[in-house]
Amino acid sequence: MVSSFDPVLNIQDLRMRYPSSSTWLLDGLNLRLEAGERLALIGSSGCGKSTVARVILQLLPIGSLCEGGLLLTGKDPRGLNQKMLRRFRGEAVGLVFQDPMTRLNPLMTVGEHLLDTLKAHRPETSSLFRRKRAKELLEMVEISPLRFQAYPHEFSGGMRQRLAIALAIALNPPLVIADEPSTSLDVAVADQVMTQLSNLCNELGSTLLLISHDLALASKWCERIAILDKGKIVEEGVSREVLTNPQSLIGNRLVSSARSREGGFGQREADQNLVLEVNRLRCSYVKSGFPWQMNTLNIVDEVSFSINKGETLGVVGASGCGKTTLCKALLGLTPTRGGEVILEGKNMLTLKGTSLRRARQGLQMVFQDPYACLNPKMTVGQAILDPFLIHRKCGRSSAKEKVRCLLEQVGLTPPEVFKNRFPNQLSGGQQQRVAIARALALDPKVLICDESVSMLDAEIQSDVLSLLRSLQQRFGLAMLFITHDLYLASGFCHRVIVLDKGRIVEAGSGEQIMTNPKTTLARRLIETCPKLP
């Protein structure tokens, strides 16, 4: 029996390394969490934040070495057999993943996910009881029980994350670990998700361990912050004190990067040479009801804007506002139902064949998740070489030299080392630099960045944004910067447009929108975005 005075989690001098590795990823880790406490674990990419969660849950590859003290609710999970460990994971600790879609079974309904969890841990209960409990859990995370038979792909990102929370709290665990739970969500939805998670932890009396690269988010939702660096806690304390007066070198670096992000990146005047002009662009889906009814849903509705050479235009909006559909329409990846996309005087929507193929080279995209858009079986050099060969820009030997130059331009030096690495051998920031290099291979006039830094920690995010700015100045690139973060857009972009239900509802400089928002949506985006103290 665990005493109420004992900590929920107690880690002492813990060391962990993966199989066939001589490096300790966690080296002398000490962490203590009391009942009902909220602590945020932050640090740079690769510091071991997610590994801490894997150690607690014992989700480690066979052959991993884990030494030191580890007690969760008074028990050491390393001493449990597989059957006991499976029960322990749901009952002692619940986990909320970063991307719930990759953790949910696409062939199981929402209700089946909950019923499966309850049956595995509470086999003695009746099916009627489990069904009632599953619907209660949905209501607790504000999902209608009428969606019981829906599938994960029918849910928005925010609803899938709320389902992940319902699964994590299903068995009332003493500890809930949330690993980057809001990274892929817009600020308004992220605020709703974190509010629910926080309230439910309070209601259940659960301890919350929030793993995040977002310092502002950490300070808003957690009383304490611990900074992880090279496998050990280098600083820990009250959130406000850590963020206003960091004592460690890494703490100073992270806070400085986060403040520079909020404060802007030294905007300059853009060149007044028109590169891309979009006029009254429309994209819509047709939803059929009864045989005689056809309902049209406008996703992009009469959108017009222009971008000059060397200019960055930010597109901000909540989930489902049409940001990604707009990107796809510009690239010709989704049908349009009217309007114009004019790139350097040519209407992309009227071109065909070879003319369209050549024109499309002028529009290139940098995606949100660089690892997902890189072929895991191709080396970095092969990934960047491909565009040259596919579009017959030059011969193989000349293309290889251009690959080397691109790697240098995006800061992956020495290029001879990086060109032979595979994506899984790179950090998140390095993967995104490879994606940028590949996008630049075809000498684009416009670079479309779709949430391209949202999955990176503050320090790496600042580095990538600085890289994009320097490349823009060097090549005169026009950039369309898609983000859900109005603070980021206001600091990085020359102009910002706010999208809502497929329409532009507000436009102007970032400073104008931040200081004097005209619409309810802009005000909500400002209010819900967490800020450093």
pLDDT digits (tens, 9 = 90+) for 191-229: 888 998 999 999 999 999 999 888 888 999 999 999 999
pLDDT class for 5, splitting at 50, 70, 90? Answer: low
Query: What is d(CA 493, CA 311) in angstroms, rounded to the nearest whole number?
Result: 8
Kindly state the average pLDDT of the residues 66-81.
93
- Per DSSP bridges, beta strands 224-229 and 207-211 are unpaired
CA 487, 488, 489, 493 dihedral sign is positive
Tokens of 512: 């104008």
Buried b (16+ CB within 10 A) or exposed e, 141-161: bebeeebbebbbeebebbbbb
For residues 114 and 3, what is the distance between their CA atoms, to the nearest angstrom?
30
Query: Mean pLDDT for the chain?
Result: 88
Alpha carbon distance 139, 361 (integer Å): 48
Pairwise pLDDT comparison (381 vs 256), residue with the higher score: 381
CB atoms within 10 A of CB 356: 14
Mean pLDDT of 155-173: 88
Residue 520 CB-density burial (10 A; 0-12 exposed, 13-18 middle, 19+ buried): exposed
Structure letter (DSSP) for residue 356: H
pLDDT digits (tens, 9 = 90+) for 400-452: 999 999 999 999 989 998 999 998 888 888 899 999 999 999 999 999 998 88
Q: What is the pLDDT of residue 18?
A: 87
pLDDT given at position 406: 94
pLDDT exceeds 90 at position 233: yes
Sign of CA dihedral 522, 525, 527, 530: negative
d(CA 25, CA 184) in angstroms, rounded, equals 26
Its CATH architecture, for the domain 264-362+445-455+477-525, is 3-Layer(aba) Sandwich (3.40)
Tell me the backbone φ, ψ of residue 203, rounded to 5 degrees. Answer: -65, -40
- Helix axis angle for 520-528 and 187-204, nearest 10°, is 50
One-letter amino acid for residue 115 of the chain: L
| C-alpha–C-alpha distance, residues 312 and 448, integer Å | 10
Q: Indicate if the pLDDT at residue 256 is higher than 80.
A: yes
507, two tokens: 């436009």
Q: For residues 370 and 54, which has the higher predicted lDDT (pLDDT)?
A: 54
Q: What is the pLDDT of residue 453?
A: 85
pLDDT of residue 206: 93
Task: Name the nearest CA neighbour of 497 among 515, 482, 476, 479.
Answer: 482
% of the chain at pLDDT higher than 90: 50
The pLDDT of residue 261 is above 70: no
Kindly report the CATH class assigned to 9-95+165-263. alpha beta
Q: CA-based angle 279:281:287, to the nearest 5?
A: 165
Whether residue 115 contacts residue 95, with contact meaning beta carbons closer than 8 Å, is answered with no
* Amino acid 266: pLDDT: 47
* pLDDT at res. 506: 93
pLDDT over 90 (residue 20): no
Run of H or E residues at 460: helix 458-475
Which of 279-288, 315-324, 365-374, 514-523 is predicted with the least confidence, judged by mean pLDDT? 279-288
Report the pLDDT value the prediction gives residue 184, as an integer from 0 to 100.
Answer: 67
Give the confidence band of 4 by pLDDT, cuts at 50, 70, 90: low
pLDDT-based confidence at residue 1 (cuts at 50, 70, 90):
very low
Give the distance from CA 281 to its chain's centroid.
28
Residues in the chain: 533
pLDDT tens string 510-533 = 888 988 999 998 888 888 877 777
Confidence of residue 45 (pLDDT cuts 50, 70, 90): confident
Which two tokens mark 426?
A: 């790179």
- pLDDT over 80 (residue 64): yes
Q: Comparing C-alpha atoms, which of 415, 339, 427, 414 is closest to residue 384?
A: 415
Top pLDDT among 30 and 260 is at 30
Q: CA 31, CA 72: separation in Å to the nearest integer? A: 11
Domain span(s) for CATH 3.40.50.300 in the chain:
9-95+165-263, 264-362+445-455+477-525
Q: DSSP assignment of 27-51, as one string? A: EEEEEEE-TT-EEEEE--TTSSHHH
Residue among 292, 283, 268 at smallest CA distance from 327? 283
Residues 118 and 125: beta-carbon distance below 8 Å: yes
Pairing mode of beta strands 495-500, 478-483: unpaired
Rounded Cα distance, 316 and 355, in Å? 32
